[in-house]
Amino acid sequence: MLGTETPTGRLLRRLRPGGVLAALGLALILLAVIAPEALTPRDPLAIAPSEAFSPPSWTHPFGTDESGRDLFARVVHGAAASAGIGLAATAIGIGAGLVLGFAGALGPRAIDTAIARVVEVLFALPTLVLALLLVAVIGPGTQASVIAIGVATAPGYARILRSRVRGVVRSDYVAYARHEGAGPLTVFVRHIAPNTLWPLVATATLGVGQAIVWVSALSFLGLGALPPSPEWGAMLNAGRVYISSAWWMTVLPGAAIVATATVLTVLGRRASGAGSEGR
């Protein structure tokens, strides 16, 4: 029976019900990123002072803020800003992690030792604390928060990649390829890279959700995107003043952050499991 199983059936079996729900959630998030107008026709920046602080209703499913802006429209349109910032920060972290990881694992011992010490020092600091230190040096703003989160997450990616590459380099199939006369570039392209990058891809999927949370935290502290931007962390920052009288201004954007991070975490774990099964 397994031999006649369709690719779709294998995918569903690996995802399981939780993964399928997470995939549907990701599809909804991608729709909000690519075509937010398909979910709401409202302008996220349009103000209506007469409707300020309206609670959730059929007219405004997520209520309105202090300026009468529709919160559902802001949360939907904010998906592009928050997800884009999270992806950019993760891309920076992975790029730096690739350089440090491969240089440490494949370079001379002196370079490996130096990189290992730097990574250990950076890895000892909590990611958000390191990001706050970098923002203090670079200055607040969206670009600064992206760079700060990217640099702060790089040590984790570098540590994972370095460990994986060192294990692959010592493997029998790499030794056999070298024995057969394969050059360093051929060994790297055919054996080392394919067997080390997949775990990093799965980890990066988890990392995007974490990056969205951390970038939102910086915006909440006033160090990232600023109002009236419909970025989720900036919305939390704007709503915290009214938490006792207009809870929806904080709870609902926060729920969007939690839901997005949960979806990406579930899919990242499923991807990691599928990669291990495939190997």
Q: Give the pLDDT of residue 251.
A: 95
Q: Give the pLDDT of residue 49.
A: 93
- Range from 133-137, 161-165, 202-206, 258-262 carrying the lowest mean pLDDT: 202-206
Distance CA 18, CA 11 (A): 13
Q: Give the pLDDT of residue 1.
A: 43
Q: Give the pLDDT of residue 278.
A: 46
* 2, pLDDT greater than 50: no
Distance CA 232, CA 256 (A): 8
Across 12-17, average pLDDT: 64
Looking at the DSSP bridge assignments, the partners of residue 70 are: 64
Dump pLDDT digits (tens) for 150-171: 988 898 888 888 888 888 888 8
- Report the candidate in 210, 189, 197 with the shortest Cα–Cα distance to residue 258: 210
Q: Give the pLDDT of residue 5.
A: 56
- Range from 73-77, 225-229, 272-276 carrying the lowest mean pLDDT: 272-276
The model carries a pTM of 0.81
Dump pLDDT digits (tens) for 16-65: 777 788 889 999 999 999 999 999 999 999 999 999 999 999 999 999 99
Q: Give the pLDDT of residue 50.
A: 93
Dump pLDDT digits (tens) for 57-114: 999 999 999 999 999 999 999 999 898 888 999 999 999 989 998 898 888 889 888 9
